[in-house]
Amino acid sequence: QVLVPTETPVGGSQALLGRSTYSATPELAGATFTVTVNLVDRFFNRMPPGFNSTFKLSSDDPNDRLADMGSFTTSNGQKLSTGVFLVTQSTTTGWTITASTTTGDAILAGESTRFKVNPSTPSNMLILLGAQQQVDGVGVIGSPAIEAAGEFITVKVVATDPGFNLTPSVTKTGLRLVSNDPFTQSSWTLSMVNGVSISSIPLRTAGIRSFTVSDQSGAQPLLAGYASSTFTMTASNPTRLRVLLPS
């Protein structure tokens, strides 16, 4: 039996699988909480002293770190697993936590109530170029395309929590975007609404290019700067001849 915060055991009650409620409170991504695992009989009565089991925790959060916590052993039929956290936000369907035996005995796995996980405090920015995507709990995936000088590049800046979950609560102006192109505009000032800023930026110089964004707004929460993936910029279509004299 797996209980998450706000749930308490109700031995003998099968209506809610031996728990007080199916309405667990939401948790914050990356924030720790305590999971209570009880060794119970088929009527959800906690086993008396002398009956114990060793188990591990897992979750349907695709980025969970619960395996890193190793195994736990109940004492007098119970174990309070502290320091548990999930990584990926899920504000609609939520996630569950499962306890399963590691000793190969005949004890059935237990699954928690499904509970929502909200993004944590906004702290970071990510830069997405072209078809790159932001994935909650992961960060940036994909590689930027090869671009041609003078063409507009779609630059998307998003605000995230420390686990790279999108934080739509951020709306601010004063984000400064710069590139390593020595012959283009020195910087651009961006505005962010609902955690997202989208701009079309032209660069001029062929070579290996990148963008860097910093939060110059002075408004809380201040977001950490970020450097984009590098990408190749090629010369544009030929348009003229150039004559170079010696030296």
Residue 129 identity (one-letter amino acid): L
pLDDT of the residue at 21: 82
- Residue 123 pLDDT grade (very low, low, confident, very high; cuts 50, 70, 90): very high
- Residue 105 pLDDT grade (very low, low, confident, very high; cuts 50, 70, 90): confident
Place of tokens 């609404």: 193
The string of pLDDT tens digits covering residues 38-52 is: 999 999 999 998 889
The string of pLDDT tens digits covering residues 192-203 is: 999 999 999 999
Q: Return d(Cα 154, Cα 244) in angstroms, integer.
A: 35
Work out the mean pLDDT of the chain and round it to a whole number: 95
The answer for 75, left when phi > 0, alpha when psi is -120 to 50, beta otherwise, is beta
Q: What percent of the chain has pLDDT over 90?
A: 89
Q: Is 211 helix (H, G, I), strand (E, B) or coil?
A: strand
Q: Return d(Cα 147, Cα 129) in angstroms, integer.
A: 10
Decide if 149 contacts 59 (C-beta within 8 A). Answer: no
